[in-house]
Structure 1
């Protein structure tokens, strides 16, 4: 008898089992605009033109990076999918877009239905948090390319905003206020540096500076800011927003500023998770390097007029969202702190 695809390391039946396992989680993410279900060649989504009569589609794509290495080492796969969703939906939210749907791509060395169901379960939870539908995805079994116990995950999201409500930062001016929303930790950036610094520590080690296991602190999933921010957008004049990802506060904040403007940060204004101080001390990392590598405890930033700051923060508090006044827009360029 000749070779089969399974003999070459690709198990189609195991892939089918993954689809069956994830169907209930995917079903919880569906929106009324979704047409059909899983299994088609493309995901179908009917745009609501009554809600968005002048639509601009906004899309974003990303992965999780070397944070995956920690998930492998901890054998924890239930939250990494949330990271993949967060990195995409938080990005398109910056321009005022409501995330509509998400698709994921999983490349694996060997299909393990239980493990992949955990990963996609995390994707589905992230989609629920963002209010977007998980309308499709792809699992590619690639023996000989990935190790049997490894995988990579990436995805993309599409959102929509009416053209007259698109946020591009063009109305920002000196004197405007930066409101920061806290991160849960590293989110999904800076892990190559963090892994280097902690390479001699066990991820199961409970560090007194953290009050928890190192792996728990590092694997904590990226926050999804979609629902509270969309509520704010419906009632406030938000001038600009930034998702603090790769490049940290130093690189991401200037991206939304008109020419001739900079940021004066007050770095003592917010609570930094202890993981950042620990990284800085153990690695003797210069503070400028910290601020351009990590989010430093701020995952998302809103820019508003000084007169609007109090009400915006009050509304966030009513949504049980912490916020901090972290700085001011000034004439100049770059970020000072």
Structure 2
């Protein structure tokens, strides 16, 4: 387990980034509002964070705790990380170059550009964009900000775990969507088993599910409706031992379940969530995760960067 990702460091990072991030709200609802058996749940609305996702936490941690050269910062991203780095760079007055794959949604690409960053299409998938960004770093000496496999990124995302525990001390179970694992790894680093963490991934991008089965990070399929946020080739090396120690279970959801969860969040509570942001909720609404009556469940709605096509 990474020795640098401690509760003490997480608390210190939270103090550094607090002036730059939002303390996002919690919405208390009941599953009977969604046409299911009654069960009170809490929605942690990190989709209302600056830049539209939790990624702002890790972005500000990197830029505020590491020296930034004149060449600025560079990031590879499916969209949300790039938007967060671009936003943090804009607020702190440093140049940013963001590499994204062609699967990145127009909504996310437009948001990156709106923050003044240079946007570069770097191949079809996240792994291709990452390779392109690494070549750019070698040529320019810009500061690379990794989307998930970096201590500073994990520390920043861990502040969300701290915030959730502060907001919802009664919670026994937390559902979290997983892509590269920076979010769930950071949260688990703070919670350290005090709350059961359920990892939720699309069936078409089961990176952590496959890694846990194999006992190590391995390549997995990287497609589906949430490919621009939950489909790296494999989970990060730094987060994996954290997940082994502190993630209670892993479930997979179908793309259609994610679409239905997006629509249900809009129809029922007027929350706009992108596919990756709705994945954790999809596990509940589809029955892929069935909580016991004694569980006190929280669901992390982690991203809102979508054009919301189909909502009315």
TM over 0.5: no
TM-score, with length taken from structure 2: 0.26
Larger radius of gyration: 1
The structure in which a higher percent of residues are strand is 1
The structure in which a higher percent of residues are helix is 2
TM-score, with length taken from structure 1: 0.24
